[in-house]
Amino acid sequence: MHLLFIADPLESFKTYKDSTFAMMRSAAARGHTLSACEPKDIMWQSGGFVTAYVRDISLTGELDHWFTAAQAKPDERAALLKNFDAVIMRKDPPFDSEYFYATHLLEQAEREGAKVFNRARALRDHPEKLAIMEFPQFLSPTLVTRDASDIKRFHAEHHDIILKPLDGMGGAGIFRVTSDGLNLGGIIETLNKDGAQTVMVQKFIPAIEQGDKRILVINGAPVPFSLARIPQGGEVRGNLAAGGKGVAQPLTMRDREIAEHIGPILAKRGLFLIGLDVIGDQLTEINVTSPTCFQEITQQMGWDVARHFIEQLELLLK
Asked if 91 is an active-site residue, the reply is no
pLDDT tens digit sequence for 25-72: 999 999 999 999 999 999 999 999 999 999 999 999 999 999 999 998
List Cα–Cα distances, 168 to 195, 198, 224, in angstroms.
17, 12, 28
Catalytically annotated residue among 164, 203, 213, 307? 164
The pLDDT assigned to 169 comes to 72
Has residue 56 been placed in a domain? yes
Select which of 119, 203, 229, 307 is catalytic: 229
Residues 11 and 116 in one domain: yes
Question: Residue 168 above 80 pLDDT?
Answer: no
- pLDDT at position 146 over 90: yes
**55 and 85 housed in the same domain:** yes
Of residues 281 and 234, which shows the higher confidence score?
A: 281
Q: Do the domain assignments include residue 132?
A: no
Cα dihedral sign, 264-269-274-278: negative
Q: What is the pLDDT of residues 87-145, one digit of tens each?
A: 999 999 888 999 999 999 999 999 999 999 999 999 999 999 999 999 999 999 999 99
CA distance 99 to 289: 10
Question: Of residues 119, 129, 203, 213, which has the active-site annotation?
Answer: 129
Catalytically annotated residue among 118, 219, 239, 287: 287
Question: What is the CA 104 to chain-centroid distance, rounded?
Answer: 19
> How many structural domains are present in the chain?
3
* Residue 173 pLDDT grade (very low, low, confident, very high; cuts 50, 70, 90): confident
* pLDDT reported for residue 99: 95
The CATH number of whichever domain residue 53 belongs to comes to 3.40.50.20
Beta strands in 159-253 (DSSP E): 161-165, 175-177, 199-203, 212-218, 221-230, 245-250
129 is a catalytic site residue: yes
d(CA 104, CA 93): 16
Q: What percent of the chain has pLDDT over 90?
A: 90
18 is catalytic: no
Is 318 annotated in the active site? no
285 is catalytic: yes
Q: What is the average pLDDT across 168-185?
A: 88
Residue 299 sits in which domain range?
207-317
Q: Residue 222: which CATH number?
A: 3.30.470.20
Give 162's strand partners: 176, 202
The last residue of one of the domains, among 204, 238, 257, is 204
Instruction: Provide the pLDDT for residue 244.
Output: 83
25 is catalytic: no
Q: What is the pTM of this model?
A: 0.94
Q: Is residue 133 part of a domain?
A: no
Residues 212 and 235 in one domain: yes
**C-alpha gyration radius of the chain:** 20
Do residues 241 and 301 share a domain? yes
- Is there a domain that residue 63 lies in? yes
69 and 158 assigned to the same domain: no
Q: What is the pLDDT of residues 262-292, one digit of tens each?
A: 999 999 999 999 999 999 999 999 999 999 9
Q: Are 52 and 81 in contact (CB under 8 A)?
A: yes
